[in-house]
Amino acid sequence: MSGFRKEFIKGIIISNPLFVLALGFCPALAVSTSVDNAIGMSVGVAFVLLGSNIIVSAIRKSVPNIVRIPVFIVIIATFVTVVNLIFHAFVPALYESLGIYLPLIVVNCIILGRAEAFASKNPITSSIADALGVSIGFFLALLIISLIREMLGTGSLSLFGYNLLTLPVLGDNPMILFILPPGAFLVMGLLLALFRRMGVMKGE
Amino acid sequence: MSELISIFLSVAVINNLIISKFLGLCPFFGVSKKIGNALSMGIAVTLVMLVASIATWFINNLILIPFEIEYMNIIMYILVIAALVQIIELFIKRTNLSLYNALGIYLPLITTNCAVLGITLINAQESYGLLESIVSSLGGGVGFLLVLVIMSGIREKLEIADAPSSMRGLPVAMLVGAMLGLTFFGFGGMI
Amino acid sequence: MKARTLREFFPIIFITLVVFLAVALLSVTYSITKDEIKTQEELKIQRLLEEMFPEMSEYTLKNEVYTVYSKGDTVGYAFVATGKGYGGTIDILVGLKNETTVKGIKIISQQETPGLGNKILESDFTSNFTTLDINNIFLKRDGGSIDAITGATISSRAVTDAVRTTILEKLEALKESK
């Protein structure tokens, strides 16, 4: 069980997919305009990652080496389609605001990366731990970015339609830049520098 | 005609794939340190985008829509793009070895480039016709190339700039991305 | 010899099997979610119609035009207009009180810039259209009576133009069918 814990904790901070491994920027920058989107995206990524890690790990001994990557891509694309259909049916508002970034999970480097680098070499239990850890690490990173962007960019914070707080001054004059695309680069760049300063992120 | 020009400009500069849609960030931060490399990568991506858009348009209109299996689009698109990249690679290798040496190493990377899948998804979402899809993918490719080349020029200078140690590399590249994004807002009034 | 051939073909058999299983899983998921997706979309239109026509008791859909009834009397018409915005397609539900007056508009879906263009969702903008004469559906700067959103002229104009052209199209079609 200690192995399970080790693989689980690893993905959250030491090898955080976004801040340390610098993988999966595309969805992280695009959907971090609101906390709602960040949560939706994280749930989607977690589902696909968990599913693909389990299946890849289960078939790791029988999959022929030369068709390894195509097989992984088919597995990932299947889970992404399942997530798309489920989101479309049960959370249509979220499905719409995630737009093309939900299907684009299929080319998210984190997922193929974990399948290739971890799940294809390790047993199912540690692959599950790895998927959970990486998903939580991805979620925390996305949450930090989206909290900053939503609060500065709209002057308020809301969660699935409930307004949690409205900031003084900013509430009337939000810094719209932060929810526009350049704001994403700005926040991400400063956060990366901050994490590196704190020693969490290794240099290049 | 003006419709096509507006699609081209919109995809190329206003809704630039890299700067405002965040597609294809890996090559943007990864290979864009030399102008020559950026140019080759951009051309390779444009080529694959063009072929992929045409192929996915036919798949969409001849298979997915008639058989009402549009939900299979993700799996179909990604397999088609992967296969196309292989075919283009083989074709270039056989016909033009010097071009292959210039573009070769970038082609396999393109399979998992979100910009290519992204443009095919955008075309399907906007239900573009064949001609519109071609124009939109060309616009996407040109926009991609443009930003990659601009960024590589800036990064050549950044390499020798005296940035604080924690900002060097990726963080400062992100900030440059932010400034590029702001400049690109200037194109907003074009359509 | 036979064993070797089998081994050579194994990768192809394997990937075919994987694709087959994937397709099977997807069609099962699709058949489960299909009806839900359809009802969700219908519910959305119905909810927007109810917001637009609070007195609505029922509605019918014919030739892409919703006819809204209140206890048997026709109280208005509605249809979907599609505009080209800054970030992509904007779908708008347009309600008509009669052949000369707009009842109101509701945005069905949009991908405009958050904080700027997506203010077309807010009632500050959509209320511009409420009980508007169909000849005045232009932005103020184009000689009409609609206030454009500050900094988002493209989105405002996209909505305005889509609403106006679709109304004219539908009215034309209505006249021809009469």
Q: What is the ipTM of this complex?
A: 0.85
Tell me if C89 and B126 make a contact (CB, 8 A cut-off): yes
Give the nearest partner residue to C29 out of A70, A82, A179, using CB atoms.
A82
Positions in chain C whose pLDDT score sits under 50: 1
User: Minimum mean pLDDT among B23-32, B69-78, B88-97: which range?
Assistant: B23-32
Kindly list the partner chains of chain A, i.e. chains with 3 or more CB atom pairs below 8 Å. B, C
Q: Answer yes or no: is pLDDT of B126 > 50.
A: yes
Tell me if B178 and A112 make a contact (CB, 8 A cut-off): no
Residues 34-93 of B with CB under 8 A from A: 71-75, 78-79, 82
Q: How many CB pairs under 8 A join A and B?
A: 116
- Determine the average pLDDT of the residues in B70-94: 86
Domain that holds residue C118: 58-177
C129 and C153 inside one domain: yes
Give the nearest partner residue to B117 out of A104, A180, A203, using CB atoms.
A104
- Determine the average pLDDT of the residues in A145-170: 83
Tell me if C40 and A85 make a contact (CB, 8 A cut-off): no
Cα R_g (chain B), whole angstroms: 17
C14: chain A residues, CB-CB within 8 Å: 62-64, 67, 71
Q: Answer yes or no: is pLDDT of A116 > 80.
A: yes
- Determine the average pLDDT of the residues in A17-37: 83
Residue B112 near residue A109, CB atoms below 8 Å: yes
**Closest chain C CA to residue A31:** C114
Residue C117 near residue C86, CB atoms below 8 Å: yes
C83 and C39 inside one domain: no
Q: What is the pLDDT of residue A143?
A: 93
Interface of A with B (CB under 8 A): 22, 25-27, 29-30, 70, 73-74, 77-78, 80-81, 84-85, 99-100, 103-104, 106-109, 112, 180-186, 188-190, 192-194, 196-197, 203-204
Residue C79 touches chain B, beta carbons under 8 Å: no
Min Cα–Cα distance to chain B from A1, Å:
35
Q: Is residue B23 part of a domain?
A: no
Give the nearest partner residue to A85 out of C29, C41, C111, using CB atoms.
C29
- Determine the average pLDDT of the residues in B123-140: 90
Q: Answer yes or no: is pLDDT of A1 > 60.
A: no
C77 and C109 inside one domain: yes
Burial letters for C131-159: b for 16+ Cβ neighbours within 10 Å, e otherwise? ebebeebebeeeebebebbeebbbbbbbb
B125: chain C residues, CB-CB within 8 Å: 88-89
What is the CB neighbour count within 10 angstroms for residue B47? Answer: 19
Q: What is the pLDDT of residue C117?
A: 78
Residue A64 touches chain C, beta carbons under 8 Å: yes
Q: What is the pLDDT of residue A203?
A: 44
Q: How confident is the model at residue B112 (pLDDT cuts 50, 70, 90)?
A: low
B170: chain A residues, CB-CB within 8 Å: 22, 189, 192, 204
Which of B74, B76, B85 best tests the A interface by mutation, with the highest count of A CBs <10 A?
B74
Distance from the first to the final alpha carbon of chain C: 78
Q: Is residue B178 part of a domain?
A: no
- Determine the average pLDDT of the residues in A69-98: 90
Which of B14, B84, B114 best tests the A interface by mutation, with the highest count of A CBs <10 A?
B114
Q: What is the pLDDT of residue A2?
A: 61
Q: What is the mean pLDDT of chain A?
A: 85
Instruction: Give the domain-ending residue among C52, C71, C90.
Output: C52
Residue A110 near residue A45, CB atoms below 8 Å: yes
Q: What is the pLDDT of residue C61?
A: 81
Residue that is written with structure tokens 């069905």 in the block: C108
Which of C12, C13, C14 best tests the A interface by mutation, with the highest count of A CBs <10 A?
C14
Question: What domain count does chain B have?
Answer: 1
Q: Show Cβ contacts of residue B187 under 8 Å, excluding neighbours closer than 6 positions.
A: B9, B13, B14
Give the nearest partner residue to B78 out of A26, A73, A188, using CB atoms.
A73
Residue B59 near residue B72, CB atoms below 8 Å: no
C138 and C108 inside one domain: yes
Tell me if A85 and C33 make a contact (CB, 8 A cut-off): yes
The DSSP H or E segment spanning C106 is: strand C102-109
A176: chain C residues, CB-CB within 8 Å: 115-116
Closest CA to A110 of C5, B114, C41: B114
Give the nearest partner residue to A179 out of C41, C111, C114, using CB atoms.
C114
Output the CA torsion A31→A150→C117→A192 (10° steps): -50
C17: chain A residues, CB-CB within 8 Å: none
Tell me if A89 and C116 make a contact (CB, 8 A cut-off): no
C93 and C24 inside one domain: no
Predicted confidence (pLDDT) per residue in B132-159, tens digit = 999 999 999 999 999 988 888 888 888 8
Give percent of chain A above pLDDT 70.
96
- Determine the average pLDDT of the residues in A26-45: 89
Which of A82, A90, A156 best tests the C interface by mutation, with the highest count of C CBs <10 A?
A82
Distance CA A55, CA A68 (A): 13
C17 and C99 inside one domain: no
Question: What domain count does chain C have?
Answer: 2
Tell me if B15 and C87 make a contact (CB, 8 A cut-off): yes
Tell me if B178 and A100 make a contact (CB, 8 A cut-off): no
Min Cα–Cα distance to chain C from B15, Å:
7
Domain that holds residue B133: 31-149
